[in-house]
Amino acid sequence: MKNKKEIIAGIIIIGNEILSGRTQDTNTKTISLWLNTIGIQVTEVKIIPDIEETIIDTVNNFKKRFNYVFTSGGIGPTHDDITAVSVSKAFNIEYGPHEEAMKILENYYESGEFSKGRQKMAHMPISAKLIYNPSSGAPGFSVENVYCLPGVPSILKSMIGGITNELVGGDPIISHTLSLRTVESEIAKSLTDVQENNKDVDIGSYPFFKAGKLGVSIVLRSPEQKKIDKCNLEILKFVKEKNIELVEVS
């Protein structure tokens, strides 16, 4: 394991619907913001198709490189939901009906409604630990450092709180945003100088278009508030010198 302040995670978003553009990925944001609060930094996100070999290879790669891995999608009842069987093969664990998951779903559905398709949602690595689902019954699961969650954003969001206590994080990541009425070229040199003076603060610059006007959001991220504050003051100094409008601070 890495130093307490360097706990890192990778996210694997699984689904042809994301790659095709039919569905927008919002789960990356949900997972990343949640992990920030417990001091775990997401350093890589990969979107992959519903192809067994690709899922297996990606899971095997990520589980070695990150303290924690989170997958989203592919654990539902349809034919293209193949995450569970793929993760079973990645860990060389038998895939089949999970005894506890079967009981949960049998109790969740009315008599006669626990169809063959719904039973598939209880099929997973048979030794997996369940991630309970307060929204729709069907559990997610974890194997070692890999946590498999559903693709439906509202359901995923309802489930992640249940595993917070299982994760060992570092210092929570603090985020501070300054939105300016400017363009990146106008502040590029000044922002580079600030970054050089504050190498252990992550500084991001993101253009936006709002109310018919261009702007730039500067996002500061660090586990230490005092470092955020120092960086913030340096930015405000050049903002004032350049007579740039400060639109919003959050």
Same-domain pairing of 122 and 56: yes
Same-domain pairing of 184 and 134: no
By three-state DSSP, how is residue 9 classified? Answer: strand
Same-domain pairing of 71 and 188: no
Residues of the domain holding 196? 174-249
Q: Long-range contact list for 49-52, CB < 8 A, 24+ apart? A: 49/14, 49/15, 49/16, 49/19, 50/14, 50/15, 50/16, 50/74, 50/80, 50/81, 50/82, 52/82, 52/85, 52/86, 52/89
pTM, 2 dp: 0.81
Are 148 and 31 spatial neighbours (Cβ–Cβ below 8 Å)?
A: no
Kind plus residue range of the DSSP H or E element containing 230: helix 225-241
Q: Domain containing 125 — which CATH number?
A: 3.40.980.10
Among candidate residues 101, 132, 166, the one where a domain is terminated: 166
pLDDT digits (tens, 9 = 90+) for 13-25: 999 999 999 999 9
pLDDT digits (tens, 9 = 90+) for 136-147: 889 999 999 999
Same-domain pairing of 182 and 158: no
Same-domain pairing of 151 and 210: no
Same-domain pairing of 155 and 178: no
pLDDT digits (tens, 9 = 90+) for 104-157: 999 998 888 888 888 999 999 999 999 999 988 899 999 999 999 999 999 999
Number of domains in the chain: 2
Same-domain pairing of 92 and 60: yes
Same-domain pairing of 151 and 211: no
